[in-house]
Structure 1
Amino acid sequence: MGSLTRSFALGLATGGRSSVSLTVPLAVAARGRTGAGAVLLRSVGRLAAIGELVADKLPVTPSRLGRPMLDARVLAGALGAAGLAVAERRPLRAVVVAAPVGAIGAFLGAHAGAAWRAWAADGGPSWLRPDARAALVEDSLVVGSAAVLVRSAHTKVA
């Protein structure tokens, strides 16, 4: 998987769960490393992901498509893709290109995730109702994508 493909995929996943923009670059940066710093990187990423997975199911959670939520996801997609390029030790030009690719992916991922959840709630199969089931399917897709991104990242341990 190429660098821009990973940037776009990270953006798509960020559109589903914004914490992925933090979790994946931190996991890539910590990969192959030991010690307190690596444990801290992994822990911060995991805590962010778990917190969002829980918060997403709450009835008070605002729509990902409303302002400023969509803006925040797009920004997170850009920063996450740039962070992934940095964690992969890519040259500066790759970091600069990764950011808008991640932002576009996050925008599209947010809209696709919202459309999925709306379809599941309104006209999807009965096994997807209530909305929490559709959210869990989305969680699985996002977490699986994040795991593939971490495994496919190209890094050189210094």
Structure 2
Amino acid sequence: MGAITILRPLALGMATGMRSQLGLAALAVAMSRGGRKKGKKSRGFSSMVQSQVLSSPLVRKSLVATAATELVADKLPSTPSRLNKGPLLARLALGGLAGGLLGWSDGRGIGRAAAGAALGATGAGLGAYGGYHVRAALDGRTQVADRYWALAEDVTAVGLAAFAVAVTDDTDDAAAVEQREAHEPAFAFAG
């Protein structure tokens, strides 16, 4: 696995840890815009998730609406802490699901999906704790109101999700081929 293959589900999980609905919404938007590799036939569960679930207009609109609602609700003083047991477990589960779907979406099998799920859940934990503590520290040490730090966190989460769905594992594959070709001798001696 290359760096991009690891960073994509980790970044999607971090976005989910910061804003729980964002990871799945980003996947749904990417799938509806042709995020799946063209010309590559995918079969089974992966194909069903991509073509029938995530790219469904109803599912996409629902996920985008819940993500947008969460962006607003996060700023309300009545919103419970993301570090409470229930919200944290939900973020870990959603991050794992998003990372697993991202890992499986390239049609490389269950191993990649399992790795993506583990990385997505790990990223969700990092995003939930990191986002909370960084925002609290900035709020406590600056004269800037918390709502502005919350908006900065929104932008960070959206950027992480966009990175995760915009970059492909093909980038890693191309880099591996270039590196291998750079280290191969230009000619070989026949013995």
After TM superposition, the score normalised by the length of structure 1 is 0.84
The answer to whether the Cα contact below 8 Å between 1:78 and 1:102 also exists between their aligned partners in 2 is yes
The answer to whether the Cα contact below 8 Å between 1:29 and 1:87 also exists between their aligned partners in 2 is no
Segments of 5+ residues of structure 1 without an aligned counterpart are none
- Which amino acid counterpart does residue 74 of structure 1 have in structure 2? L
- Which amino acid counterpart does residue 155 of structure 2 have in structure 1? S
For 1:148 and 1:108, locate their aligned partners in 2 and report how far apart those are by CA, in whole Å: 17
Q: 1:84 aligns with which of 82, 102, 105?
A: 102
CA RMSD of aligned residues (A): 2.1
The answer to whether the Cα contact below 8 Å between 2:98 and 2:120 also exists between their aligned partners in 1 is yes
For 1:20 and 1:48, locate their aligned partners in 2 and report how far apart those are by CA, in whole Å: 8
- Which amino acid counterpart does residue 11 of structure 1 have in structure 2? G
Identical counterparts, % of pairs: 38
1:25-104 equivalent positions in 2, closer than 5 A:
25-32=27-34, 38-104=56-122
Q: 1:2 aligns with which of 1, 4, 8?
A: 4
- Which amino acid counterpart does residue 15 of structure 2 have in structure 1? A
Segments of 5+ residues of structure 2 without an aligned counterpart are 36-54, 171-191
Q: Aligned-pair distance for 1:151?
A: 1.4
**How far does the alpha carbon of each residue in 1:26-52 deviate from its partner, in whole angstroms, 9 at most, with x for none?**
12322228xxx5533432232121011
Q: Aligned-pair distance for 1:154?
A: 5.3
Q: 1:17 aligns with which of 9, 19, 26?
A: 19
- Which amino acid counterpart does residue 18 of structure 2 have in structure 1? G
Moved over 3 A (4+): 37-42
Q: Establish whether residue 138 from structure 1 lines up as the match of residue 161 from structure 2.
A: no
- SS of the residue corresponding to residue 62 of structure 1 reads coil
Aligned positions, number: 150
Q: Aligned-pair distance for 1:13?
A: 1.1
> Which has the higher Rg, Structure 1 or Structure 2?
2
**How far does the alpha carbon of each residue in 1:29-85 deviate from its partner, in whole angstroms, 9 at most, with x for none?**
22228xxx5533432232121011011111111111111111111111101101222
- Which amino acid counterpart does residue 119 of structure 1 have in structure 2? A
